[in-house]
């Protein structure tokens, strides 16, 4: 198992404390894993680590890190739409998938201290799993982050460092600290181990439904879920576990939609946008660090990027709640985007949406 630079192809051991390659390129994880085989699922393990045969993960440190994350139900929303309840997690969002896998790796290689930047959910998840195995943790949060999210980070014993300005600026400040002080960067976007966790979203769907729904709506900000989903689907296809790639639809918020704008304009590189304030704060990323990788996936699989109208987010959140589902505003954007997709393409049955995060997190 090793890291390989996505820009220059240089290799590095996975024990490296460097956040990225010397050339500035981000690492991907390269390893010889098992092909998909239901008999290799550890059915005695009631967490996402039951899929560890298909994850890049070494050693047993995960046992002291896991809190039973994953294994979230898929339930009916209406005749056409099912939802996967990914806010049924220890820190109430899907980020636990990635954080559990990443912190398991950190514990395995002996990391004692880390920093991370996040608008909230990823920072919360990393703080919780670090608390679990005694890793000191500092989370940089951009101005405007929900007080509920900051309270959770601090409750886990991590230090929340508020940074004025945009979320992109907050990441720059944190990365400067990583470069200057050499502290471990437990970042959900940079660190390839995070995606080993988010891949399990798809493995679970296959195990619980016995198939992959025809239309998967996946929210896309930095792409931690999106990349995990596409990677996992490619892996299942290569293993012969599915016979075609389903219709993946990427969801962005209308007020911050760099991928939608890029595809619309036909530009090869991610176009620069000026984000406007939005209720979908979790996916409001103007300059995602893995933009080139994500654009390559979008083009390879002909993935449509659909935007959630800003004014449709609150009504969508209310509709979810009236079906018993109290979701974060960002999560409601997925339903708003699904509606817009149907306006364009007609009725779309057999659709699955992720209920990424719980409603109490964005109440403020
Ligand atoms: C509620 C919610 N949904 C979706 C996402 C999207 O994840 P990503 O930015 O990795 O694409 C996030 C990220 O923070 C989130 O908090
Ligand atoms: Zn490189």
Per-residue pLDDT reduced to its tens digit, 19-68: 999 999 999 999 988 899 999 999 999 999 999 999 999 999 999 999 99
pLDDT in the model for residue 149: 86
Task: Give, in order, the Cα–Cα distances in Å from 176 to each of 180, 181, 185, 186.
Answer: 6, 8, 11, 14
Binding site membership of 356 for ligand 1 (Cβ less than 6 Å): yes
Binding site membership of 122 for ligand 1 (Cβ less than 6 Å): yes
Question: Which is the closest atom of ligand 1 to the Cα of 189?
Answer: 10
**Rounded distance between C-alpha atoms, residue 224 and residue 220, angstroms:** 8
pLDDT in the model for residue 361: 85
CA of 301 to the centre of ligand 2 (A): 26
Pocket test of ligand 1: the residue of 357, 361, 363 to mutate, having most ligand atoms within 8 Å of its CB, is 357
Q: Hey, whose CA ends up nearest to atom 10 of ligand 1?
A: 224
CA of 26 to the centre of ligand 2 (A): 7
Task: Give, in order, the Cα–Cα distances in Å from 304 to each of 283, 334, 335.
Answer: 16, 14, 15
For 215-269, write each residue's pLDDT tens digit: 999 999 999 999 999 999 999 999 999 999 999 999 999 999 999 999 999 999 9
Mean pLDDT of 207-214: 98
| Of residues 135, 179, 181, 176, the one with CA closest to residue 159 | 135
Pocket test of ligand 1: the residue of 84, 86, 97, 121 to mutate, having most ligand atoms within 8 Å of its CB, is 121
Ligand nearest to the CA of 280: 1
Instruction: Say if residue 38 is exposed, middle or buried (CB neighbours under 10 Å; 0-12, 13-18, 19+).
Output: exposed
First to last CA, the chain: 43
CATH class of the domain comprising 74-90+193-362 = alpha beta
| Of residues 122, 129, 71, 61, the one with CA closest to residue 100 | 129
Q: Hey, whose CA ends up nearest to atom 13 of ligand 1?
A: 282
pLDDT at 364 over 70: no
Question: Which is the closest atom of ligand 1 to the Cα of 188?
Answer: 10
**Domain residue ranges in the chain:** 1-32, 74-90+193-362
Binding site membership of 253 for ligand 1 (Cβ less than 6 Å): no
**Rounded distance between C-alpha atoms, residue 144 and residue 281, angstroms:** 9
pLDDT in the model for residue 335: 98
Ligand nearest to the CA of 123: 1
For 61-93, write each residue's pLDDT tens digit: 999 999 999 999 999 999 999 999 999 999 999
For 129-139, write each residue's pLDDT tens digit: 999 999 999 99
């Amino acid at each position: 198992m090793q890291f390989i630079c996505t820009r220059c192809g240089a290799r590095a051991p996975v024990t490296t404390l460097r956040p990225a390659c010397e050339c500035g390129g981000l690492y991907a994880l390269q390893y010889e894993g098992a092909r998909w085989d239901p008999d290799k699922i550890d059915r005695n393990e009631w967490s996402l680590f039951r899929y560890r045969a298909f994850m890049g993960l070494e050693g047993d440190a995960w046992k002291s890190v896991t809190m039973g994350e994953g294994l979230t139900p898929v339930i009916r929303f209406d005749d056409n739409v099912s939802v996967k309840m990914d806010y049924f997690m220890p820190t109430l969002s899907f980020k636990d998938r990635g954080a559990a896998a990443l912190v398991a790796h950190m514990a395995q290689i002996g990391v004692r201290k880390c920093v991370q930047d996040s608008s909230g959910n990823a920072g919360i998840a990393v703080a919780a799993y670090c608390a679990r195995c005694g890793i000191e943790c500092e989370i940089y949060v951009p101005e405007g982050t929900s007080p509920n999210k900051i309270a959770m980070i601090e409750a886990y014993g991590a230090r929340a460092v508020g940074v004025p300005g945009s979320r992109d600026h907050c990441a720059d400040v944190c990365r400067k600290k990583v470069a200057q002080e050499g502290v471990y960067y437990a970042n959900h976007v940079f660190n390839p181990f995070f995606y080993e966790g988010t891949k399990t979203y798809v493995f679970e769907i296959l195990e619980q439904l016995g198939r992959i729904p025809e239309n998967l709506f996946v929210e896309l900000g930095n792409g931690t879920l999106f990349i995990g989903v596409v990677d996992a689907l490619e892996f299942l296809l290569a293993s012969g576990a599915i016979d075609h790639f389903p219709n993946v639809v990427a969801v962005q918020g209308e007020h911050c939609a760099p991928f939608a704008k890029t595809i619309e304009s036909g530009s090869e590189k991610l176009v620069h946008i000026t984000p406007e304030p939005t209720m979908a704060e979790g996916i409001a990323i103007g300059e995602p660090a893995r933009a080139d990788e994500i654009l390559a996936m979008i083009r390879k699989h002909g993935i449509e990027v659909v935007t959630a109208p800003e004014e449709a987010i609150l009504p969508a959140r209310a509709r979810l709640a009236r079906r018993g589902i109290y979701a974060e505003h960002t999560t409601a954007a997925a339903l708003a985007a699904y509606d817009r997709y149907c306006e364009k393409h007609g009725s779309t049955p057999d659709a699955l949406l992720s209920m990424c995060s719980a409603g109490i997190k964005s109440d403020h």
